Amino acid sequence: MGGIHGVTTEDIMDWALEIAGQDTMPIDSGIHVRGDNIRRVLFGIDVAAPELQLGKDIGVDLVIAHHPPDALVNFPKIFERHVDLMVGAGIPEDRARGAIEPMTERWQDRFHSANYDHVVSVARLLNLPYMNIHNPLDELGRQRMAAAVAGIKASQPLQDVIAALNTLDEIKNAPIEPQVAVGSFDSPAGRVMVVHGAGTNGGYEIAREYFDHGIGTVVYIHLATDARLKLHNEARGNVIVVGHLPGDLVGIEPFAALMRRRGLDVIGFSGIA
Ligand SMILES: [Fe+2]
Ligand SMILES: [Fe+2]
């Protein structure tokens, strides 16, 4: 940090990798317009073209988004992290690869229809440094949530898993509460797996794969209604849904604090304090 260019966008990406314990930038994160001498930062979960103009209007040196812009057309490759998590939990690799196939196809379809140039072209024309940091912060959030529930025994009910998640301020202080999406508060948890930090939630297929391989409760940060109903009807295991913003903030807020400790003036918005 420091040097003749002050704090750079590359330094900030390195700090994110450092806090997550990663050594290379994941495919769902990127520096879209680089910059030097960064002092004031606008940091939000969702950034589109109007939010870049907002950053310009209030005179920041950099806008950081959490969610990736459509410019990151290789985004579906981040689902490999789901394979790593599943294999780590004892699921055979061929089963894990099969489970990510439907979501990989869905997201590939989405990127084929997306305007991958739109948001980044606005940042370029505004001449405004712009980056997004996704997986490193979700990985940090996964580690913190996994640590929070690590002491839960298989016989403990889901309400104890929720109480453990509520030891994290970002979850405790949120206006939405963790939800028992599948199961009930007094269902025994069994083995608990926090499934986060892999691009997006695992939907029906990945939860199903965990349930078939000894996991009793999957913790997601969000889950679509059709997948939730399907898992509810099959009743093979439990799902706790933390809530999208609180779940993301578990990894984001410690990083905002780190940037502030390192001297940046960080203005939070779009979910970030
Ligand atoms: Fe996230
Ligand atoms: Fe998110």
pLDDT at 45: 98
User: 145, 248 in Cβ contact below 8 A?
Assistant: no
Query: Which listed ligand is nearest to 250 at the C-alpha?
Result: 1
> 222 C-alpha vs ligand 1 centroid, how far in Å?
10
| Span 225-232, average pLDDT | 98
As to burial, measured by CB atoms within 10 angstroms (0-12 exposed, 13-18 middle, 19+ buried), residue 261 is exposed
**How is the chain split into domains, by residue range?**
9-134+249-265, 139-246
pLDDT at 212: 98
> 181 C-alpha vs ligand 2 centroid, how far in Å?
18
> 245 C-alpha vs ligand 2 centroid, how far in Å?
7
Fold identical between 9-134+249-265 and 139-246?
Answer: yes
Token pair of 179 as six digits: 């939800």
> 123 C-alpha vs ligand 1 centroid, how far in Å?
22
- At the top level of CATH, the class of 9-134+249-265 is alpha beta
Q: What is the pLDDT of residues 49-87, one digit of tens each?
A: 999 999 999 999 999 999 999 999 999 999 999 999 999
> 112 C-alpha vs ligand 1 centroid, how far in Å?
22
Query: Which listed ligand is nearest to 245 at the C-alpha?
Result: 2
Any idea which of 2-6, 196-200, 251-255 has the lowest mean pLDDT?
2-6
Confidence of residue 4 (pLDDT cuts 50, 70, 90): confident
Query: Which listed ligand is nearest to 243 at the C-alpha?
Result: 2
User: 123, 75 in Cβ contact below 8 A?
Assistant: no
Q: Which long-range contacts (CB under 8 A, 24 or more apart) does 48-57 make?
A: 48/119, 49/118, 49/119, 49/122, 51/269, 51/270, 52/119, 52/122, 52/123, 52/126, 52/128, 52/130, 53/122, 53/126, 54/269, 55/128, 56/126, 56/128
> 270 C-alpha vs ligand 1 centroid, how far in Å?
13
> 6 C-alpha vs ligand 1 centroid, how far in Å?
28
| CATH of region 139-246 | 3.40.1390
- With a pLDDT cut of 70, the percent of the chain lying above it is 99
> 247 C-alpha vs ligand 1 centroid, how far in Å?
7
pLDDT at 5: 87
pLDDT at 3: 74
User: What is the Cα 239 distance to its own chain's centre?
Assistant: 18
How far apart CA 171 and CA 167 sit, in angstroms, is 8
How far apart CA 32 and CA 129 sit, in angstroms, is 7
Neighbours of 110 (CB within 10 A): 12
Neighbours of 211 (CB within 10 A): 22
How far apart CA 80 and CA 101 sit, in angstroms, is 10
Instruction: State the pairing for strand pair 30-33/130-132.
Output: antiparallel
| Span 208-222, average pLDDT | 98
- With a pLDDT cut of 90, the percent of the chain lying above it is 98
Q: Hunting for tokens 């040196």 — which residue is that? A: 61
Measuring CA to CA, how many Å separate 212 from each of 53, 90, 98, 159? Answer: 48, 11, 14, 23
Task: Return the closest-CA partner of residue 217 out of 79, 78, 89.
Answer: 89
Q: Hunting for tokens 């083995």 — which residue is that? A: 191
Residues linked to residue 241 through DSSP beta bridges, in sequence order? 179, 220
Residues with CB under 5 A from ligand 1 (ion): 138, 248
Measured N-to-C along each axis, helices 203-211 and 80-88 cross at an angle, to the nearest 10 degrees, of 10
Q: What is the pLDDT of residues 75-124, one digit of tens each?
A: 999 999 999 999 999 999 999 999 999 999 999 999 999 999 999 999 99
Residue 178: pLDDT over 80 = yes
> 261 C-alpha vs ligand 2 centroid, how far in Å?
24
The widest CA-to-CA distance across the chain, in whole angstroms, is 60
Q: What is the pLDDT of residues 127-173, one digit of tens each?
A: 999 999 999 999 999 999 999 999 999 999 999 999 999 999 999 99
> 87 C-alpha vs ligand 2 centroid, how far in Å?
23
> 3 C-alpha vs ligand 1 centroid, how far in Å?
31
> 99 C-alpha vs ligand 1 centroid, how far in Å?
20
Confidence of residue 2 (pLDDT cuts 50, 70, 90): low
Instruction: Round the average pLDDT of the chain to a whole number and report it.
Output: 97
Confidence of residue 228 (pLDDT cuts 50, 70, 90): very high
> 117 C-alpha vs ligand 1 centroid, how far in Å?
22
Measuring CA to CA, how many Å separate 6 from each of 2, 13, 123, 144? Answer: 4, 14, 21, 31
